[in-house]
Amino acid sequence: MGLTGIRKVCEVSLDKPAEEQKQLHNRWHPDISFAGAIKDGETVKIECVDWTGGQIGTFTLAIAILTL
């Protein structure tokens, strides 16, 4: 861990639509600006959504994954 603790670089909310979260994107592309910078040797936390875009929750049944 860094000297000042762990800084959160990117925070994701599953309660907000993706278009309301400016730092959220699903791939690298040269036209999408970066979300932030990390200093050499700095320890950071980067949140991200799962491959389903948050469609799988605590009470999702295994059979439901077949229809994603």
Dihedral angle, C-alpha 67, 56, 11, 27, nearest 10 °: -20
User: Quick one: pLDDT at residue 23?
Assistant: 77
Question: What is the token pair recorded at 37?
Answer: 């910078």
| Per-residue pLDDT band at 4 (split at 50, 70, 90) | low
pLDDT per position as a tens digit, 10-57: 888 878 887 788 777 777 788 877 777 888 988 989 888 777 777 788
- Alpha-carbon distance of 27 to 32, in angstroms, equals 9
Q: Where are the domains of the chain?
A: 1-68
